[in-house]
Structure 1
Amino acid sequence: MRPYYADGGLSAAFYDVVTAADATLAGDVELYAGLPPAGGAVLELGTGSGRVAQALAERGLRVTGVDIAPAMLARAEARRAALPPEVAGRIELKRGDMTALDLKRTFDAVICPFFTLAHVPAGAAWKNAFAVAARHLPPGGLAAFHLPRLEVMRGLGPVNAAVPVMDQALGDGRRLLLFVKERSFRAPPGRLDQVIEYALADAAGRIVERSPERLSYWMADPEPFAAAAGLVLDRPPQPLGGAGDVWVFRKA
């Protein structure tokens, strides 16, 4: 059993395949792109494979992407290397912890996409992550956090471990299958735990590799954590794909 995005796991190797098929992310890039001014600088906490960083850089923004997982940063580096030089030059990638980061500079906007904050417990880690966002913003700067909806995560139905929740052709004869092997929700503290098994099938349909990985999401009201960091809600939470909302805060 591995944690999500660990070295050697299939979640990192096929992150782009899964996110490309995830309809709940539709429109997130446009939302983030509208936060900084044209040509502005963005700090992305949890840059993953660089999906959002690339899209923002293609729109002329300068992006510093930070991630704690070496496997994900390796994919982001490979993505950046394949871009045209003028786009690649607008992306900087760093390994770092979003709960303890200090780059000694500010950005026009800070973003934390695709439930990244929910990967850490909603307590001291959330408090520190909001403090990091505030530290890297000038007065008036915006910070956006994409968070899962508590009622959606709590309402997920029972699992059938034998039936894949995703079956995606990879274009080389192989298929990627995802199975939910375990799922539980605890309230309090508002925590969803799942074991997701990634499975690779060959052209004959035989499973040739399996990678069971544990994925947990913590959920809480982000406003008290933001307020403690000097951030105020800038607009109502922006719905995204039915499973979560993007919360946008402004540094006072």
Structure 2
Amino acid sequence: MAQTRPYYADRSLSAAHYDIVTAADARLTGDIDIYDGLAPAAGSVLELGAGAGRIALALAERGHPVVGVEIAPAMLAQAQAKRAAAEPQVAGRVEFRRGDMTALDLGQSFDLVLCPYFTLAHVPAGAAWRNTFAVMARHLAPGGLVAVHLPLLELMRQPGGPRPDLPVLDRPLEPGGRLLLYVRERLFREAVGRLDQVIEYVELDAKGGVVRRSLERLTYYCADPSPFAQGAGLEPDRAPIALGGVGEIHVFRRAAA
């Protein structure tokens, strides 16, 4: 098998086609409405793992000042380009910064701190989760909320998976090509709550010829977030919010003194 690169790495097709893949993922439908509803009107938002800016820009359009933090340069460049092309009043409400969600200190607080689209699940459920929850608590204004979107463990541990010879996504590309995604490998390690997948991205031209292809490793870790939140002085605010049948948004608030 060809060399496998990390998801969202520089020159990866996962980064190049992030918008196409997320737009096609019906399991994300309604997430922006949920996050908007968790923040007060015009309340400030910190997004950890801002990706290409999908959520941050949408919340800015709804009147929220947003700081989006992203560690992957390829994703951050896309977010900044979208901000530059946005309407001035929207662009003025959003800022993108490069940073590590496990070791961040912006010196300011926010009404809502987000860790959306399985971002926390990309790092091991140990010190990295403890540090990330500490970062979220550190940036939380009094009365504010933390929202963390995580995959469902019972789905991650299901045996089997998509057939490796059939695409799980087939979408058009300009001008006339197509993007295909295949799940070539899938393995869940129960002892560490880790799901490893090798996803192959294939770009086709208008005649069906292969333009580019890329094997990329997508890893998710899953655990109960509550102990990590409690360790950071946060407590559950409500029952987890189901999203798309494959994940839940866990909402926390600062524990009473």
Q: Superposition RMSD on alpha carbons, in Å?
A: 0.9
Structure-1-length-normalised TM-score:
0.98
Q: Which residue of 2 aligns with 1:242?
A: 245
1:37 Cα offset (Å) = 1.2
Matches within 5 A, 1:225-240: 225-240=228-243
**Mind listing any 5+ residue stretches in structure 2 that lack a counterpart?**
none
Letter in 2 for 1:33: D
Secondary structure in 2 matching 1:140 = strand
1:164 alignment partner, one of 142, 164, 167: 167
Could you tell me how far apart the structure 2 residues matched to 1:245 and 1:156 are?
Answer: 21
1:81 Cα offset (Å) = 1.1
Could you tell me how far apart the structure 1 residues matched to 2:226 and 2:195 are?
Answer: 20
Matches within 5 A, 1:5-24: 5-24=8-27
1:214 alignment partner, one of 217, 241, 254: 217
Letter in 1 for 2:18: Y
CA deviations over 1:68-93 (Å, ceiling 9, x no partner): 00000001011111110110110100
2:177 alignment partner, one of 155, 174, 177: 174
Q: Which residue of 2 aligns with 1:136?
A: 139
Could you tell me how far apart the structure 2 residues matched to 1:161 and 1:142 are?
Answer: 40
Matches within 5 A, 1:90-109: 90-109=93-112
Could you tell me how far apart the structure 1 residues matched to 2:13 and 2:81 are?
Answer: 17
1:159 Cα offset (Å) = 4.0
1:139 Cα offset (Å) = 2.7
1:96 Cα offset (Å) = 0.3
1:156 Cα offset (Å) = 5.3
1:138 Cα offset (Å) = 2.1
CA deviations over 1:188-241 (Å, ceiling 9, x no partner): 111000000111000011111001100000000000000000000000000000
Q: Which residue of 1 aligns with 2:42?
A: 39
How many residue pairs are counted as aligned between the two chains?
252
1:61 alignment partner, one of 52, 59, 64: 64
1:171 Cα offset (Å) = 3.8
1:159 touches 1:182 (CA, 8 Å); kept in 2?
Answer: no
Structure-2-length-normalised TM-score:
0.96
Q: Which residue of 1 aligns with 2:33?
A: 30
Q: Which residue of 2 aligns with 1:192?
A: 195
Q: How high is the sequence identity, in percent, across the aligned residues?
A: 65
Deviates more, 1:213-222 or 1:170-179: 170-179
Could you tell me how far apart the structure 2 residues matched to 1:152 and 1:182 are?
Answer: 16
2:162 touches 2:168 (CA, 8 Å); kept in 1?
Answer: no
Letter in 1 for 2:194: R
Could you tell me how far apart the structure 1 residues matched to 2:224 and 2:67 are?
Answer: 27
Letter in 1 for 2:253: R
